[in-house]
Structure 1
Amino acid sequence: MAPVVKIAVIQLYPKPLQLESNFLKASNFIRAAALQGAQLAVLPEYHLTNWMPKDPGFIPLCRQWESYLKRYQALAKELGICIVPGTIVESHDGGGGAEEKDRLLNVAYFIDGEGEVRGKYVKKNLWGPERAHLTGSGREDHPVFDTPFGKVGMLICWDLAFPEAFRELIAQGAKMIIVPTFWTLSDCNEAGLKLNPSAEALFLDSMLTARAFENTCAIVFANAGGPPGRGYAGLSQVTVPFVGALTRLGSCAEGMSVVEVDMQILEDAEENYQVRSDLARDDWHYDYRHSATKGKL
């Protein structure tokens, strides 16, 4: 039988440029998750800094990325819990002149309960306003890695909009896909907001449910929350086929939910829908970037 995994999805308000206080708050949530028996804790995108790329203080904070990654590794080892510390924006010196310095990468890590990094993913599909500041992972493959819960893949925020990303991950055997996110209601344009002020919430709920069904996978979605009236969408959730959201946090407030995920649901869904089986066929008729030879379903 497939394992049952206890997961803590954590919805935080990242105070702008308050790196240390945001880290301490996140650590307290992770400690609380460990006390409740969680085996995995997942934080939102940009949880350390918020998204303030034009502020002169943003890049100096991003240069501290490695020290905070090590602190999360130490915390994971201390508590014996796996941690996906949302995303950490990393500043790297491109080494090719002033214009290439402070190349920014938006990175998600999977840290196991021994404090070891099992997986790393650099955000590929950049949201429009990010493209002037971040460097994406381009045509690099979406990585899948082994964890105590089986094969896991990670995506970040706007990656959700691309079914090809999920297909590439499940073609390599991923059963759980973890998605740290900083998605707000104000990401919708004026025309969309006029039609539906909650359009982005509808987008998120619909997309997460569809992706879980169409890929027979579990999705762990941790979004930022924040004070009412500031556009935070929240809606952090763990979603599986057949059921939909096993747990779902509110629209904006900070909080945490710990939920058990019976991974057998994914096996039963695959037996019913046979999505992975079709993708693995040599005569499969859709030409995705992946192929059946890249991984075992």
Structure 2
Amino acid sequence: MAPTYKIAVVQLCMEPLAVEANHAKAVSYIRSAASQGCDLVVLPEYHLTSWVPDDPSFAVHCAQYQKYLDAYCALAKEVHVNIVPGTIVEKHGDQLLNVAYFISHDGAILGRYQKKNLWHPERPHLTSSAHEPHVAFDTPLGKAGLLICWDLAFPEAFRELITGGAKIIIIPTFWTLADCTAKGLAYNPLSEALFLESMLVSRCYENTCMVVFANVGGPVGEGKKGSWAGLSQVAVPFQGALGKLGSEEGMSIVDVDMEILEEAEHNYKVRADMGSDGWHYDYSLRRDTKAGS
């Protein structure tokens, strides 16, 4: 029988560059989730600094990334919970890397991912992982993969993780309603929320996987050039968005019976088709049949 896991998504409202305060708030949520028996806690993208790359102190704070990564590893071991601490921007020489980690309940780092598909305003500041492959990894909850924010727009990223056996895709995000052109907003002020609502459940169906999505939140009518989109959730086939939050800060905890992923695959046979000898696309569950191999 497949296990049931308790998963917490934390929708933080962080203060720009108030790293210590943001970290303390994140720790408080993690401790609360652990006390409620959670197996996994996921935080949003940029949860320590927010996104203010033009501020001279942004890079200074990013140079201290190891301090906070070590603190999350120690916390995971202390309270015995798996943690994806959103993303932590790391300064390496002249480069800034936007990185997500999966930290196991014994404090070990099991997965690391550097954001590949940078949103347009990020490109002058961050370095992409470019042609590095998306890699799935083993966790206490099963095979998982990490993506970050705008990666959601690229089904290819999911497919590569699925080829590696991932059944859980975890996506820390910093996505607001203002991430849209003025003309796009004129068509629909809630366009970005519609984007998220459309993509998250679609991705879990088309890959027979679970998508754990942790976005930022905040007071209604405030935010980075506009209102917060929020919508943090755990999306699974058949049931859709579990524990979906609105736009304000908060934490949602849901129980997921992993049997639902097995039944989705039994019903849709997506992975079976991808692993078949006659699979007709360039990606495959069979590494030895990839195009060019």
Aligned counterparts of 1:188 and 1:280: Cα–Cα separation in 2: 38
Report the alpha carbon displacement of residue 2 of structure 1 after superposing the two structures with TM: 1.6
Amino acid of the residue matched to residue 268 of structure 1? E
CA deviation after TM superposition for structure 1 residue 247, in Å: 1.0
Structure 1 moving runs of 4+ over 6 Å:
none
Indicate yes or no: 2:275 matched with 1:274. no
Q: Offset of 1:227 from its aligned partner?
A: 2.1
In the alignment, which residue of structure 1 is the partner of 2:70? Answer: 70
Q: 1:291 to 1:216 in 2, by over 3 A?
A: closer
Tell me the CA shift for residue 293 of structure 1. 1.8
Q: For 1:206 and 1:24, how far apart are their aligned partners in 2?
A: 33
Alignment correspondent of 2:279: 284
Distance 1:291 1:151, change over 3 A: closer
1:262 CA displacement: 0.7
Q: 1:144 aligns with which of 107, 121, 136?
A: 136
**Does the aligned pair in 1 maintain the 2:164–2:285 contact within 8 Å?**
no
- Counterparts of 1:217-228 in structure 2 under 5 Å? 217-228=209-220
Q: Which segments of 5 or more consecutive residues in structure 2 lack a partner in the other structure?
A: none
CA distance in 1 between counterparts of 2:44 and 2:193 reads 16
Measure how far apart 1:282 and its partner are.
2.3
Distance 2:269 2:180 in 1: 35
5 Å matches for 1:1-297? 1-93=1-93, 101=94, 103-229=95-221, 230=223, 231-251=227-247, 253-288=248-283, 292-293=286-287
Question: Aligned Cα RMSD in Å?
Answer: 1.1
In 1, the alpha carbon distance for the partners of 2:73 and 2:164 equals 26
> In the TM superposition, what is the alpha-carbon distance from 1:291 to its structure 2 partner?
5.4
TM-score (norm 2): 0.95
Q: Which residue of 2 aligns with 1:96?
A: none
Take 1:42 and 1:269, find their aligned partners in 2: how far apart are those partners?
24
What is the TM-score of this pair, normalised by structure 1?
0.94
Equivalent position of 1:98 in the other structure: none
Once the 2 structures are TM-superposed, how far is the Cα of residue 174 of structure 1 from its aligned partner?
A: 0.4
Give the Cα–Cα distance (whole angstroms) in 2 for the partners of residues 183 and 121 of structure 1.
19
Aligned residues: percent identity? 63
How many Å separate the matches in 2 of 1:84 and 1:169?
17
Residue pair 2:162, 2:285 contacting (<8 A) in 1 also: no
Q: Secondary structure at the match of 2:99?
A: strand
Aligned length: 285
State the distance in 1 between where 2:244 and 2:104 align: 24
Shift of 1:76: 0.4
